[in-house]
Amino acid sequence: MGEFTTTIEHRLDQAYRDLREARSAGDDYLADTLTAEIEDLRRLADDHGIPLPR
């Protein structure tokens, strides 16, 4: 696994953890921001052929 793939996976893991925390705290703005980041990271992974779980 390459460094790029590892970085994408790590950033996604962190973004999903942060999203759960933001939702638990009721921080809608942060949750929206993190959702957009997750979408961007997933799109980037898809563009580069990195398989990700749904």
Can you tell me the mean pLDDT for 31-40? 98
Q: In the prediction, which pLDDT does 20 show?
A: 98
> What is the rounded CA–CA span in Å between residue 18 and residue 16?
5
Tell me the pLDDT tens digit for each residue of 3-31. Answer: 999 999 999 999 999 999 999 999 999 99
Confidence of residue 51 (pLDDT cuts 50, 70, 90): very high
In the prediction, which pLDDT does 45 show? 96
Closest by CA to 40, choosing from 15, 17, 22, is 15
50-to-5, 27, 38, 40, 45 alpha-carbon distances in Å? 7, 30, 14, 13, 5
Backbone dihedral angles phi then psi of residue 2, each to the nearest 5 degrees:
-80, 165
Q: At 54, is the pLDDT very low, low, confident or very high (cuts 50, 70, 90)?
A: confident
